[in-house]
Amino acid sequence: MSAPIAAAKIDDERLKQVSWLRQALVRPELGAICGAILVFVFFLMVAGDSGMFAPQGIRNWTLVSAQFAILAAGACLLMIAGEFDLSVGSMIGFAGVVIAILSVQWGWPVWAAILSAFAVCLFIGAVNGFLVIRTGLPSFIVTLAFLYILRGLTIWLSVATTRQTIIGGVGQAAEGDWLAPVFGGIAFRGLFQWMGDQGWIATFTRGARMGQPVVEGIPALVFWALGLILFAHVLLTRTRFGNWIFASGGDAEAARKVGVPVSRVKILMFMFSAFCACVFAACQVMEFGSAAADRGLLKEFEAIICVVIGGALLTGGYGSVIGAALGALIFGVVQQGLFFANAESSLFRVFLGVILLMAVIMNTIIRRMITGER
Amino acid sequence: MSEAPPILEMRGIEKHFGPVVALAGVSFDIRPGECHCLLGDNGAGKSTFIKTMSGVHRPSRGEILFEGRPLRFSSPRDAMEAGIATVFQDLAMIPLMSVTRNFWMGREPQKRFGPLKLFHRAHAEAVVAEQMREMGINLRQADQAVGTLSGGERQTVAIARAVYFGAKVLILDEPTSALGVRQTSHVLATIDRVRARGVGVVFITHNARHALAVGDRFTVLNRGRTLGTARKGEVTITELQDLMAGGGEMADMSALGEGAL
């Protein structure tokens, strides 16, 4: 038996030396890192003196990016687990209206309304997942159905209870509530006031808010975004469950054979995606003090775009939460940057389409590099 | 080594699917540290037999003795826990994932980090590097994707995984059928290494040459029956091929094919 053993050993000389560039390329985040740098350099040059990088400007695109990041965290894990959730946008509208109806119309305490909305969203997420697993249908179709079902229900609920599609008054109801600031609060007010007093950030010079800093603190939304990204990243890369997420999306059959509970993983990821949508909705309702039946329109696609820009494969089994977060940052910076650069805002969609196409093409190439297929 | 008592013994196994008799009396045993080749042409009942041995099917008649005791597996998991591992042709490996993640898939080692239980990556990578080195695969880096490995190397990773997780009997379903010459020799070398560790290897193939290169004993399956077992040196390629074909007609053909093989 010595001959085959010797033969096996000399295999190595035929392995090509892998360049560092190629090695770096197969990291899913690379495209998003380059994209983020590119976007920042571009807007520093084009809109550097427009106030985009002044405190208010920074707050502006940070908030938008954070919104995308919250949804992207959920969409990212779900996509790596091999599924989509197109009902995210409708879920945002639905959760918001549930919070508003329960707290304003029914007079429930706001904390109870928020927790109920979370319970309902998690349940719908589980139903999404259960239907996908049970029927074996593509999640694209199942969640597309829920995109319509939830949007329709949202408008109907809203109109049936208030005769309007916008339900206000959540702001007053939320006063003094212990849970509301977790979603709508602003942290570090004192620090920002102090920085304003020191002259480090601009303060209002006129009006009712004279002397207050233009940026009053860091909204809870930003902490949610950072928290969800950190949670999803650690879960994906540092835990046993994370390996199961990769495995479920990479090849569900192979994963089942070695004992990975694929159905449980996928259903839980649908629930996580729904949870993220509900966080988004709760933050938005608390910030505006109202809910509207048309909130969250197209958010499902924007979340998916962030994830794809972040290097995840649409077919599952490969991707990165950090990449998705950078995708959200790129998305937010460009959307707000075009405004600061006085560009026609409709061009944003053109940009979006182009960058999506580029990202998908690049991801496909990277996939071929990893799997060695031609 | 083949004087040791068998780990797994199958006596007069029959398996019927309705009116179809897939197995009509199969006897087979496997001892520690040997490679027992099961040869058979397509449709001979190899797949049914593997599935019976690995607990997917229950035999309609006959008995299975595991380490001398009669045993009835009610699921593949029972068989796996008893130490019977099957490496199927599709390998249950995910090309996009690293060798380490694939190796541990479903059985990831964990370590405590405060209140959290994290994937013990350092341990996982160290074990895989060690196991791969023993099997003659030099990984370029710990997170190298399985997709970058050759077919033979993938087979070897799947075998190493089964052995590491305590396989006493390793059933290999056509491990060389889709491979080139060099890749095949890699897999045969892996079988040799695994056998040296005392694992009983059931090597299923329809290639008599591959079987003879590594096998200690040879059993031919034809039309759902075993046609007896031969020891190494007692049988030639031509004889094995004749038995697989079920007698006469192939004998003439093999005279033609001898040179080509």
Instruction: Identify the DSSP state of B98.
Output: B
Going by C-alpha positions, the residue among A172, A41, A43, A49 that lies closest to residue A103 is: A172
The single-letter code of the amino acid at A363 is N
Residue of B nearest to A231 (CA): B116
CA–CA distance, A285 with A295 (Å, rounded to integer): 10
Interface contact flag, A255 B105, Cβ < 8 Å: yes
Q: Are residues B243 and B118 in the same domain?
A: no
- Which of B95, B182, B188 faces A371 most closely, judged by CB atoms? B95
User: Per the structure, how many domains does chain B have?
Assistant: 2
Establish if B183 belongs to a structural domain.
Answer: yes
What is the model's pTM?
A: 0.87
Q: Under an 8 Å CB criterion, which residues of B touch A?
A: 77, 88, 90-97, 101, 104-108, 110, 116-119, 121, 136, 138, 140-141, 145, 147-148, 150, 152-153, 182, 185-186, 188-189, 192, 213-214
Same domain, B27 and B104: no
pLDDT band at B19 (very low <50, low <70, confident <90, very high): confident
| Contact residues, chain A, for B105 at CB < 8 Å | 243-244, 247, 255, 258, 260
Give the model's pLDDT for residue A154: 96
Pair B24, B223: CB distance under 8 Å? yes
| Residue B162 pLDDT greater than 70, yes or no | yes
Q: How confident is the model at residue B229 (pLDDT cuts 50, 70, 90)?
A: confident
**B136 and B14, same domain (yes or no):** no
Q: Residue B51 in 3-state DSSP? A: helix
Q: Looking at chain A, how many residues does it have?
A: 374
Model confidence at A353: pLDDT above 60: yes
List the domain range (segments joined by +) for residue B140. Answer: 97-144
Are A4 and B192 within 8 A, CB to CB? yes
Last residue of a domain, one of B113, B144, B175: B144
Chain A interface disruption, residue of B35, B99, B104, B105, most A CBs within 10 A? B105
Q: How far is B32 from chain A (nearest CA, A)?
A: 18
Q: Which structure tokens are listed for A34? A: 């380059």
Q: Same domain for B50 and B159? A: yes
Q: How confident is the model over A313-335, as pLDDT tens digits? A: 999 999 999 999 999 999 999 98
Give residue limits of the domains in chain A: 32-43+54-371
The CATH number of residue B40's host domain is 3.40.50.300
Q: Say whether residue A13 is in contact with chain B using an 8 A CB cutoff.
A: no
Residues B132 and B155 in one domain: no
Q: Answer for the pair A266, A129: CB distance below 8 angstroms, yes or no.
A: yes
Is the same domain home to B112 and B234? no
Q: Which positions in chain A touch B185 (Cβ < 8 Å)?
A: 3-4, 7-8
Higher pLDDT pick, B214 / A207: B214
Per-residue pLDDT band for B206 (boundaries 50, 70, 90) equals confident
pLDDT at A26: 66
A126: nearest Cα among A151, A103, A100, A146: A146
Average pLDDT over every residue of B132-140: 83
Angstrom distance (rounded) from CA A173 to CA A99 = 11
Q: Are residues B114 and B125 in the same domain?
A: yes
Q: Give the minimum alpha-carbon distance from A305 to chain B in angstroms, rounded to a whole number.
A: 21
> How many residues does this entry show for chain B?
261
Q: Residues B130-151: what's their mean pLDDT?
A: 83
Residue in B94, B110, B185 nearest the CB of A240: B110
A242 touching B (Cβ < 8 Å): yes
Highest mean pLDDT among A94-108, A248-262, B211-225: A94-108
- pLDDT band for position A360 (cuts 50, 70, 90): confident
Spatial contact of B13 and B61, defined as CB atoms under 8 Å apart: yes
Closest to A302 in 3D by CA, of A345, A336, A349, A360: A349
Kindly list the residues from chain B whose CB atom is less than 8 angstroms away from the CB atom of residue A370. Answer: 95-96, 145, 147-148
The tokens for A353 are 């389409």
Last residue of a domain, one of B116, B144, B172: B144
Residue B102 lies in a domain: yes
Render pLDDT for B32-83 as a digit per residue (tens, 0 to 9). Answer: 999 999 998 888 888 888 888 888 888 888 888 888 888 877 777 788 888 8
- Overall average pLDDT of the A157-167 stretch: 91
Answer yes or no: do B191 and B88 share one domain: yes
Contact flag B96-A239 (C-beta cutoff 8 Å): no
Same domain, B110 and B203: no
Q: What is the 3-state secondary structure (H, E, C) of A21-85?
A: HHHHHCCCCHHHHHHHHHHHHHHHHHHCCCCCCCHHHHHHHHHHHHHHHHHHHHHHHHHHCCCCC
Alpha-carbon distance of A61 to A85, in angstroms, equals 25
Q: Which CATH fold would you assign to the domain A32-43+54-371?
A: ABC transporter involved in vitamin B12 uptake, BtuC (1.10.3470)
pLDDT grade, residue A25 (50/70/90)?
low
Is B202 contained in some domain? yes
Structural domain includes residue B1:
no
d(CA A250, CA B96): 7
3-class secondary structure per residue, chain A: CHHHHHHHHHHHHHCCCCCHHHHHHCCCCHHHHHHHHHHHHHHHHHHCCCCCCCHHHHHHHHHHHHHHHHHHHHHHHHHHCCCCCCCHHHHHHHHHHHHHHHHHHCCCCHHHHHHHHHHHHHHHHHHHHHHHHHHCCCHHHHHHHHHHHHHHHHHHHHHHHHCCCEECCHHHHCCCCCCHHHHHCEECHHHHHHHHHCCCCCECCCCCCCCCECCCCEEHHHHHHHHHHHHHHHHHHHCHHHHHHHHHHHCHHHHHHCCCCHHHHHHHHHHHHHHHHHHHHHHHHHHHCCEECCCCCCHHHHHHHHHHHCCCCCCCCCCCHHHHHHHHHHHHHHHHHHHHCCCCCCHHHHHHHHHHHHHHHHHHHHHHHHHCCC
Tokens of A13: 């000389």
Backbone angles phi, psi at A217, to 5 degrees: 165, -165
* Partners of residue B121 in chain A, C-beta under 8 Å: 238
Please, are residues A77 and A272 in contact by the beta-carbon 8 Å criterion? Answer: yes
Residues B111, B238: one domain? no
Contact A7 B106 (CB under 8 A): no
DSSP B217: E
CB A157 within 8 A of CB A93: no
CA-based nearest residue to B187, from B152, B160, B212:
B152
CA distance B56 to chain A (A): 12
pLDDT reading at B29 higher than 70: yes
- Cα separations in angstroms, A292 against A95, A104, A162, B12, B102: 10, 13, 11, 72, 46
Contact A317 B96 (CB under 8 A): yes
The pLDDT, as a whole number, for residue A24 is 62
B249 pLDDT above the threshold of 60: no
**A238 in reach of chain B (CB within 8 A):** yes
- Provide the pLDDT confidence category of residue A20 given band limits of 50, 70 and 90: low
Inspect the interface and report whether the beta carbons of A240 and B117 lie closer than 8 Å: yes
Q: Edge to edge, what strands does the sheet with B200-205 contain?
A: B84-87, B169-173, B200-205, B35-40, B217-222, B225-231
β-strand partners of B169: B84, B200
Please tell me the predicted confidence (pLDDT) of residue A8.
Answer: 39
% of chain B exceeding 70 in pLDDT = 93
My answer on whether B75 and B118 are in the same domain is no
Note whether residue B2 is domain-resident: no
Q: Is A370's CB within 8 Å of B213's CB?
A: no
- pLDDT category of residue A273 using cuts at 50, 70 and 90: very high
What average pLDDT does the segment B169-177 reach? 89
Grade residue A46 by pLDDT with cuts at 50, 70 and 90: confident
Chain A residues whose beta carbon lies within 8 Å of the beta carbon of residue B117: 239-240
* Residue A372, pLDDT score: 66
Angle, vertex CA A238, rays to CA A237 and CA A243, nearest 5: 60
Least confident of A55-64, A209-218, B159-168: A209-218
Residues 6+ apart with CB under 8 A from A373: A367, B147
Last residue of a domain, one of B127, B144, B161: B144
Q: Which residues of B touch A81 (CB under 8 A)?
A: none
Task: Say yes or no: B19 and B42 in one domain.
Answer: yes
Q: Which residue of B119, B152, B214 is in closest CB contact with A238?
A: B119
Please give the average per-residue pLDDT across A173-177, as a whole number: 89
Q: What is the mean pLDDT of residues A270-287?
A: 97
Report the range of poorest mean pLDDT among A19-28, A88-97, A199-208, A341-350.
A19-28
Average pLDDT of every residue of chain A: 89
